[in-house]
Structure 1
Amino acid sequence: MNSEAPLAPSAAPPVRFDTKIAVLLRVDLEPWQRLNVTAFLVSGLGSRLPEVIGEPYEDADGTPYLPMFRQPVLVFEGTKEILTAAHSRALSRALPRAVFTADLFATGHDEANRAAVRAVHREQLDVVGLSVYGPRNAVDKVLKGARMHP
């Protein structure tokens, strides 16, 4: 008889969410940049949209952990042109979004990041990453032309 606890709870039927959390990254980013941009972008969604955050976690010993997103975050990639189009579509649909521009790689703190974005007109932003949240079909339309990150 195996006395070890199971690694995961019993399999439940898959949940299909009506909403989608997605991150779109430019294909020419270095691996460290992809990770950094993704982390920054999703922090924006989680901080402003309480409905995307689940309940806090707790292990079997009662140790508390912070809550996380209640649904998967899907990561996509695309060319500069795909990101520019996705940015425009997200704005035209008024979906909650966060943006990361190439200029932010040269800054070192939040105030400088915001100043770097504020200094550039929307049409001139060099978007290297975009996160978006909303109804599944609307997010899918924003991501048109992008592919799942490998």
Structure 2
Amino acid sequence: MSDARPDTKTAVLVRDDLAPWQRLNVTAFLLSGITAAHPGLVGQPYADGDGTAYLPLLGQPVMVFEGDAATLRAARSRAVGRGLATALFTAQMFTTGDDAANRAVVAAVAGDDLDVVGIGVHGPRNPVDKVLKGAHAHP
């Protein structure tokens, strides 16, 4: 096992007033976006001692944070302003049933007016840490 600390960071920030199922759903969706944009983050497939194969996972830890609505809005603005790869989930996306509808509800609202319930970011550690200012580790 390597003790080397990656020079990048992957983090998810979810709004603190979401139901538990919503927090998990948002986290999964956001990580899928980060993984799609950064396939090099994915490690090698797993296998158990019996030779049963399992899918590969992200090769670095994912930090999960929470914050209130104002913290999410500010984090989205900082992430976009820093040009970080950013995944987004808005409250309106809970009312849709497919990817095209999700994109449509996001496209209908100006960035500063989005009802952000989650963001995922990946990038150099220091800029990601600055994006997460005001958030705290998810319990």
Distance in 2 (CA, whole Å) between partners of 1:18 and 1:140 is 12
Alignment pair present for 1:85 and 2:74: yes
The answer for unaligned runs of 5 or more in structure 2 is none
Distance in 2 (CA, whole Å) between partners of 1:87 and 1:131 is 9
Q: Output one character per residue of 1:54-90: Cα deviation in whole Å (capped at 9) or x when no partner.
A: 1111222222221110011100001111111100110
Alignment pair present for 1:60 and 2:49: yes
Q: TM-score, normalised by structure 1?
A: 0.89
The one of 113, 116, 133 equivalent to 1:144 is 133
The answer for unaligned runs of 5 or more in structure 1 is 1-11
Alignment pair present for 1:125 and 2:123: no
Moved over 4 A (4+): none
Q: Whose radius of gyration is greater, 1 or 2?
A: 1
Distance in 1 (CA, whole Å) between partners of 2:33 and 2:2 is 30
Alignment pair present for 1:41 and 2:35: no
Tell me the amino acid that sits aligned with residue 99 of structure 1.
L
Distance in 2 (CA, whole Å) between partners of 1:131 and 1:51 is 17
**How many residues were matched structurally?**
139
